[in-house]
């Protein structure tokens, strides 16, 4: 299993990095909107957040997340034109 995940906040949609050991806390808190959510819901299977990718390389994770956010916001700008 990879050590770091790139996840998307279900409330604001921002991508951010997360360590696997934080799964023990059972609560995901967004760095941007500061809302929290249980990682595993009692009524559903799997995680309650969307995982974009995983890696063991710490330096690759911020580059991946910044590129994802850049592409996401450039698509939104194209739609608003």
The domain limits of the chain are 4-80
- How far is residue 44's CA from residue 53's CA, in Å, rounded to a whole number? 21
Range 31-39, long-range pairs (CB < 8 A, 24+ positions):
33/9, 35/9, 35/11, 37/10, 37/11
Pairing mode, if any, of strands 4-8 and 50-55? Answer: antiparallel
What mean pLDDT, rounded, does the chain reach?
A: 82
pLDDT, one tens digit per residue, over 60-69 is: 888 989 888 8
Q: Is the pLDDT of residue 33 over 90?
A: yes
Mean pLDDT of 8-31: 83
């Amino acid at each position: 299993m990879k050590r770091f995940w790139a996840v998307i906040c279900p409330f604001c949609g921002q991508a951010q990095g997360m360590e696997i050991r934080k799964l023990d806390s059972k609560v995901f808190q967004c760095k941007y909107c500061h809302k929290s959510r249980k990682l595993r819901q009692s009524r559903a299977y799997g995680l309650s957040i969307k995982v974009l990718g995983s890696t063991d390389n710490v330096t690759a994770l911020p580059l991946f997340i910044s590129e994802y956010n850049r592409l996401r916001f450039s698509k939104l700008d194209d739609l608003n034109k």
